[in-house]
A and B are shown apart, each in its own frame.
Chain A
């Protein structure tokens, strides 16, 4: 195993094998990696795109019980069998696979994507793009070097109503925008206390741990609750938050990093071993722009805000997820991923608005956009190219670095470093556990 990384995917050979010409009639064969929850949505979406000549050709998961269940679910859904893999590396060796969709934990995003690019596969990647800032940069380098199409799973970007809302913002429907406020109020129960346990049968724990430090198995670190441990996840702001941070950037046309970042909060209410804050405030400012971005994470009983979650549907009954843009002529509310509402003037008169009649999770269009860019071979056809994903995920990382260092951090968008702040710079990357190393040179 240790040699596998180097043997297969460094630079030349395999990548060249990657497909670079597609006819409209060529079937695109997709593999989905990490199929417990979000990954199964990927499978369903790609399956729905069958008429676009797309096929789910393989499933991969490090938990064999999940893999078995999803394979049989797939049989029921599609009426045919699907190849299954436990080890992503084996999957990447399969020359019949054109694209890989990743819904793994965050700590696998960069390595999976870079390996896939090196193996000549295109990638659909769940958010957040990266587990840390430096990974994002490497992913862009890999995508460009191997001429791969890498779509980031911020699906609002492909939703026609959101696109219309953004257009309205650019046209000045609420005047000059000076503030955006992102909300991720999602109900979160306690993750519980860490308890060492034997690795469950069928779980390939070494593979699951991948680039992270090897620690004893504990359910509290595993399925889903890995979001709330720094080794694997990035907290709520790097989970749900990335969608709204991305919308804020998009609405304000911020195609660079912020220069000054603050964050404060804590892990309140629950007395457990969660590491990431469940209550978090973050604020961002950008060199040369007269704007304030603010973000708030809550996890428990709260009022809704700006109509999000009560007047307008959001991500579930108990949740308030959205963005509010504030401008010189009014404000715009963007609940969830598929609607916008404007309120104009001192009297807050209802202005232009639109609601997407379809899936409020906005999934299908985003997968379709990916497939079309695969055929066109133009990363510029993507609505959420990895370069966008990198910037949006970085906002959550920068907030977390400010939170963890406990200070206002100043970031240089060019070098992607904190000048003169070694403690903060250390959090821009991580030590990788061989052979799961995100390479300096992709």
Chain B
């Protein structure tokens, strides 16, 4: 348990990173060196990571060298799957700290719950590893800033898992927006209508055997084990997740920012909603609207989260693909000359003029292609050592995740918020400022100084 202080605290970690980073840059970073990646958090999205990385293994000269999960049942199952897939045995670990001590590992791919994202990433940077990180970048806004600092300080490549950023159709769509295909854009609407059943009532249970619950809890307050807090459901409790707007929503918020060239935080934020239909212990709203405005920009961003039976919208989910039959996920941009629909992660459609005449469009294959391109981009930046080669550098991840956090803070305080993008604070609003970070449970502390 001293691993944290021993290896990753400020000074010593800097030394360690100083020792490791050049080694990578000079050694395994070369075009002919095999990049050894470890995947942390394997149950669902992490399984996709393993598959994507394996698909790229030959072409990009990489190897899934280690798998890490705090649930031993998940770990052994995914280990077996990986062996079947690749014919190889990966190193298996339950504690990310042990993994970070392994000098043969070059990069970590995280698909843990949100509350572990920042600490895992900062530790990895301190340990001289590059990072591919699932969205949302952070569990709160303070963390996002610290992650950028860590990435820069230790010269690490940190890719944020908003895979649309690496999709050619999305790139083309955003280029068209910039060229003015729909004129001047004054509004973007993000939609996240995903079917969500009730998570049920929190019921205290013994920790299942093989689950390292203290590790799973990590930076969060230690509470009795309950399945409703664990796999999948943690998204909907504030200690670990950030609700649907940060789960699915962050993809669309990121696309909205990207399309509009918003490389700062909004200055005005409103959100309203509730947890409806289900009578259970979910804490995050399942029905939420959020709106954003930016100083000096003549535009409004809006976001709509629904959990249940709803109409589809703008063709998304019926005419155009989306995330599954019951779901509608996408972004619509509104401009002076028309509108653009971006369902899911891999296509765009335009409708021009008063009569909505179909204009330019492009479709590319859905998953896993979108993620594949994103991992490829990561690996190539790992080789080039330029974070500017990343399509979704952690700095982008921070801004997009921050939109969901800001919406949630407005929702939780019940107030419209005014945010100072430079200071990353709410001027004269202590209640809101308190929600910019959380208190960390030692030794799982996101440090002030990375």
A432 contact set on B, CB distance < 8 A: none
Tell me which of B289, B310, B332, B414 contacts A408 (CB under 8 A).
Answer: B414
Are A269 and B309 in contact, with the CB atoms below 8 A?
no
Whether A406 is near chain B, meaning CB under 8 Å from some CB there, is: yes
Q: How far is the CA of A344 from the CA of B338 in the complex (A)?
A: 33
Closest to B338 in A: A301
A178 contact set on B, CB distance < 8 A: 274, 276-277, 287
Are B306 and A346 in contact, with the CB atoms below 8 A?
no
B339 contact set on A, CB distance < 8 A: 301-303
Q: Mark B322-338, 1 if CB is under 8 A from A, else 0.
A: 00001000001011111
Tell me which of B277, B326, B338, B351 contacts A176 (CB under 8 A).
Answer: B277
Are B310 and A331 in contact, with the CB atoms below 8 A?
yes
Q: Mark B169-211, 1 if CB is under 8 A from A, else 0.
A: 0000000000000101011000000010000000000000000
Q: Which of B9-17, B226-234, B297-305 faces chain A?
A: B297-305
Q: Mark A298-323, 1 if CB is under 8 A from B, else 0.
A: 10111101110000000000100000
Whether B214 is near chain A, meaning CB under 8 Å from some CB there, is: no
Are B310 and A260 in contact, with the CB atoms below 8 A?
no
Whether B315 is near chain A, meaning CB under 8 Å from some CB there, is: yes
Whether B416 is near chain A, meaning CB under 8 Å from some CB there, is: yes
Are A268 and B298 in contact, with the CB atoms below 8 A?
yes
Q: How far is the CA of A301 from the CA of B356 in the complex (A)?
A: 7
- Within B268-321, the residues touching A (CB, 8 Å) are 268, 270, 272-274, 276-277, 287, 289, 291, 293, 298-300, 302, 304, 306, 308-311, 313-315
Q: A179-B276, A264-B300, A269-B186 are in contact. Are A303 and B416 (CB under 8 A)?
A: no
Are B272 and A262 in contact, with the CB atoms below 8 A?
yes
Q: A178-B274, A260-B414, A292-B272 are in contact. Are A331 and B300 (CB under 8 A)?
A: no
Tell me which of A176, A307, A344, A406 contacts B416 (CB under 8 A).
Answer: A406
Whether A330 is near chain B, meaning CB under 8 Å from some CB there, is: yes
Are B309 and A343 in contact, with the CB atoms below 8 A?
yes
- Within A321-365, the residues touching B (CB, 8 Å) are 324, 326-331, 333, 343-346, 348
Are A283 and B272 in contact, with the CB atoms below 8 A?
yes
Q: How many residues of B contact A (CB 8 A)?
A: 46
Closest to A181 in B: B304
B326 contact set on A, CB distance < 8 A: 346
B289 contact set on A, CB distance < 8 A: 281, 283, 292, 294
Q: How far is the CA of A344 from the CA of B309 in the complex (A)?
A: 8
Q: How many residues of A contact B (CB 8 A)?
A: 46
Whether A8 is near chain B, meaning CB under 8 Å from some CB there, is: no
Q: How far is the CA of A357 from the CA of B315 in the complex (A)?
A: 28
Most-contacted residue by chain B among A307, A329, A407 (CB, 10 A): A407
- Within A284-300, the residues touching B (CB, 8 Å) are 285, 290-292, 294, 296, 298, 300
Closest to A324 in B: B311
Are B332 and A268 in contact, with the CB atoms below 8 A?
no
Whether B256 is near chain A, meaning CB under 8 Å from some CB there, is: no
Q: How far is the CA of A333 from the CA of B291 in the complex (A)?
A: 24
Whether A187 is near chain B, meaning CB under 8 Å from some CB there, is: yes
Q: How far is the CA of A176 from the CA of B274 in the complex (A)?
A: 14
- Within A394-421, the residues touching B (CB, 8 Å) are 406-408
Q: How far is the CA of A327 from the CA of B309 in the complex (A)?
A: 8
B382 contact set on A, CB distance < 8 A: none
Whether A160 is near chain B, meaning CB under 8 Å from some CB there, is: no
B414 contact set on A, CB distance < 8 A: 260, 408
Tell me which of A294, A303, A307 contacts B351 (CB under 8 A).
Answer: A303
Are B308 and A290 in contact, with the CB atoms below 8 A?
no
Most-contacted residue by chain B among A260, A262, A306 (CB, 10 A): A262
Tell me which of B287, B310, B311, B334 contacts A302 (CB under 8 A).
Answer: B334
Whether B264 is near chain A, meaning CB under 8 Å from some CB there, is: no
Tell me which of B270, B311, B353 contacts A301 (CB under 8 A).
Answer: B353
Are A329 and B309 in contact, with the CB atoms below 8 A?
yes
Closest to B301 in A: A264
- Within A233-277, the residues touching B (CB, 8 Å) are 260, 262, 264-266, 268-269
Rounded to whole Å, the gap between the CB of A63 and the closest CB of chain B is: 30
Are A268 and B287 in contact, with the CB atoms below 8 A?
no
A330 contact set on B, CB distance < 8 A: 309
Whether A279 is near chain B, meaning CB under 8 Å from some CB there, is: yes
Tell me which of B195, B300, B314, B416 contacts A279 (CB under 8 A).
Answer: B300
Rounded to whole Å, the gap between the CB of B171 and the closest CB of chain A is: 23
A346 contact set on B, CB distance < 8 A: 195, 309, 326
B273 contact set on A, CB distance < 8 A: 292
Rounded to whole Å, the gap between the CB of B34 and the closest CB of chain A is: 47
Tell me which of B182, B186, B300, B314 contacts A303 (CB under 8 A).
Answer: B314
Are B334 and A298 in contact, with the CB atoms below 8 A?
yes
Rounded to whole Å, the gap between the CB of A350 and the closest CB of chain B is: 12
B356 contact set on A, CB distance < 8 A: 301, 303
Are A318 and B311 in contact, with the CB atoms below 8 A?
no
Q: How far is the CA of A407 from the CA of B268 in the complex (A)?
A: 9
Are B351 and A328 in contact, with the CB atoms below 8 A?
no
Rounded to whole Å, the gap between the CB of A399 and the closest CB of chain B is: 12
Closest to B417 in A: A408
Are A307 and B311 in contact, with the CB atoms below 8 A?
yes
Q: How far is the CA of A29 from the CA of B150 in the complex (A)?
A: 81
Are B334 and A301 in contact, with the CB atoms below 8 A?
yes
Are A328 and B308 in contact, with the CB atoms below 8 A?
yes
Q: How far is the CA of A292 from the CA of B275 in the complex (A)?
A: 10
Rounded to whole Å, the gap between the CB of A424 and the closest CB of chain B is: 12
Whether B415 is near chain A, meaning CB under 8 Å from some CB there, is: yes
Rounded to whole Å, the gap between the CB of A311 and the closest CB of chain B is: 10
Q: How far is the CA of A298 from the CA of B187 in the complex (A)?
A: 10
Are B309 and A326 in contact, with the CB atoms below 8 A?
yes
Are A265 and B313 in contact, with the CB atoms below 8 A?
no
Are B354 and A306 in contact, with the CB atoms below 8 A?
no
Whether B341 is near chain A, meaning CB under 8 Å from some CB there, is: yes
B287 contact set on A, CB distance < 8 A: 178-179, 292
Q: How far is the CA of A79 from the CA of B241 in the complex (A)?
A: 73
A331 contact set on B, CB distance < 8 A: 309-311
Q: A268-B298, A305-B311, A326-B310 are in contact. Are A408 and B186 (CB under 8 A)?
A: no
B310 contact set on A, CB distance < 8 A: 326, 331
Rounded to whole Å, the gap between the CB of A334 and the closest CB of chain B is: 12
Q: A302-B339, A326-B310 are in contact. Are A281 and B300 (CB under 8 A)?
A: yes
Q: Mark B residues whose CB is within 8 Å of A.
A: 182, 184, 186-187, 195, 268, 270, 272-274, 276-277, 287, 289, 291, 293, 298-300, 302, 304, 306, 308-311, 313-315, 326, 332, 334-339, 341, 351-354, 356, 414-416
Pick 13 A–B contacts, CB within 8 A, sort by A: A260-B414, A279-B186, A279-B187, A281-B289, A281-B302, A292-B273, A301-B182, A301-B335, A301-B352, A306-B313, A345-B309, A348-B309, A408-B416
Chain A to chain B: the 8 pairs with minimum beta-carbon distance, closest first: A178-B276, A268-B186, A306-B311, A303-B314, A283-B272, A264-B291, A408-B416, A262-B270
Known: A266-B299, A269-B184, A281-B302. 11 other contacts (CB 8 A): A262-B291, A264-B300, A268-B300, A283-B272, A301-B337, A301-B354, A306-B313, A331-B310, A406-B416, A407-B416, A408-B414
